[in-house]
């Protein structure tokens, strides 16, 4: 667990420092071992740390502790942030639940982060609970993962090997310049069994599209240098991609934006936080990939 926690802390540190927060990390003296995918478990911790940093006013405090309790590794992420209302707590891990949609949208969020955390932990036979005394009184998220005996020797990393990508899955391209939004959506799509490629800008997206010929493209409109509108138009011009499913994933849903996205060649206009069930249905509507020869 130590390496996993250290990696997540380092990845979240730039945001925490930019917000002027104090971070306290409390690790056990003896190593704890869990079995799982280190990339996905690290993403769980990174998501919770990033949320703590985003939703805590500048100059706040964030605490992360790890302990072994009753056969489980117990990880607690605490903050002095905006807190969670009593009516929201029972639904905080439900798909599309938002405490403050305008804040989430301003931070570039997709509204599926905590749902993804819950699903990833379920995949590892773990759990997550949320606690809060109310608005303005901070939050605490408690992760529990079953402990496993330490291996005699391992070359695959402390928490085991990543699961292989299913063969013959639909290919999806995700384009977003917000790192958190990009990585969260990629992980969600991979959970559904898709082969996913991600790009932070239009030029990279066009190159990946030519190489991988995706069945669907999830494209943010507010990209640097080349807007999503232009990327969509150029994607349609790539041989073999004239009929690719183009989905705009954006923070803006006014009629003018929807009209512009239709003119640029988008098939669907989704507003953040996205409806994950609708997104899944849309991708499943694309043709099945041809079997390998």
Q: In which band, very low, low, confident or very high, does the pLDDT at 290 lie, cut at 50, 70 and 90?
A: low
Question: Which position has the higher pLDDT, 114 or 127?
Answer: 127
Question: Which position has the higher pLDDT, 121 or 167?
Answer: 121
Which architecture characterizes domain 2-146 according to CATH?
2-Layer Sandwich (3.30)
How large is the average pLDDT for residues 197-215?
A: 95
Q: State the pLDDT at residue 3.
A: 81
Q: Give the phi and the psi of residue 225 in degrees, each rounded to 5.
A: 70, -50
Q: Which of these ranges, 82-91, 104-113, 125-134, has the smallest mean pLDDT?
A: 104-113
Instruction: Name the CATH superfamily housing domain 171-284.
Output: Response regulator (3.40.50.2300)
Question: Which position has the higher pLDDT, 176 or 289?
Answer: 176
Q: State the pLDDT at residue 273.
A: 74
How large is the average pLDDT for residues 73-91?
A: 93
> Strand 72-79 relative to strand 139-146: parallel, antiparallel, unpaired?
antiparallel
Cβ proximity of 118 and 128 under 8 Å: yes
Query: Which tokens in the block code for residue 74?
Result: 């117990």
CA dist., res. 197 & res. 171, Å (int): 8
Q: What is the pLDDT of residues 66-76, one digit of tens each?
A: 999 999 999 99
CA separation, residue 273 to residues 27, 93, 98, 99, 103 (Å): 34, 14, 8, 12, 11
Mean per-residue pLDDT of the chain: 85
CA dist., res. 28 & res. 41, Å (int): 18
pLDDT at 289 over 70: no
* Domain spans, the chain: 2-146, 171-284
Per-range mean pLDDT, top range of 75-89, 115-129, 261-275? 75-89
Q: State the pLDDT at residue 26.
A: 93
Q: Name which of 36, 37, 82, 28 is nearest 55 in CA terms.
A: 82
How large is the average pLDDT for residues 24-33?
A: 90
Q: State the pLDDT at residue 97.
A: 54
Query: Which tokens in the block code for residue 177?
Result: 């310049």
Q: State the pLDDT at residue 101.
A: 41
Query: Which tokens in the block code for residue 225?
Result: 């240098």
Query: Which tokens in the block code for residue 229?
Result: 């509108």
């Amino acid at each position: 667990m130590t390496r996993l926690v250290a990696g997540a802390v380092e990845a979240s540190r730039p945001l925490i420092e930019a917000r002027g927060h104090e971070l306290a990390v409390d690790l056990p003296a003896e190593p704890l071992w869990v079995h799982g995918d280190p990339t996905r478990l690290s993403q769980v911790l990174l998501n919770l740390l990033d949320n703590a940093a985003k939703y805590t006013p500048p100059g706040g405090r964030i605490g992360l502790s790890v302990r072994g309790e009753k056969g489980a590794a117990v990880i607690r992420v605490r903050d002095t942030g905006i807190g969670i209302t009593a009516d929201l707590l029972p639904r905080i891990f439900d798909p599309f639940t938002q405490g403050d949609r305008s804040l989430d949208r301003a931070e570039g969020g997709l509204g599926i982060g905590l749902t993804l955390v819950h699903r990833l932990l379920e995949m590892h036979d773990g759990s997550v609970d949320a606690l809060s005394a109310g608005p303005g009184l901070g939050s605490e998220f408690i992760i529990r993962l079953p402990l496993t005996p330490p291996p005699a020797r391992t070359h695959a990393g402390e928490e085991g090997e990543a699961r292989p990508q299913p063969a013959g899955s639909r290919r999806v391209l995700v384009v977003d310049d917000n790192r958190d939004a990009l990585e969260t959506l990629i992980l969600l799509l991979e959970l559904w069994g898709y082969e996913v490629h991600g790009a932070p800008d239009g030029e990279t997206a066009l190159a990946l599209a030519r190489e991988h010929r995706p069945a669907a493209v999830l494209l943010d409109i507010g990209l640097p240098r080349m807007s999503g509108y232009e990327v969509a138009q150029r994607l349609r011009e790539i041989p073999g991609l004239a009929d690719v499913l183009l989905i705009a994933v954006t923070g803006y849903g006014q009629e003018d934006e929807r009209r512009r996205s239709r003119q640029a060649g988008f098939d669907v206009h989704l507003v953040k936080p996205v409806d994950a069930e609708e997104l899944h249905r849309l991708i499943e509507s694309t043709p099945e990939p041809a079997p390998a020869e």
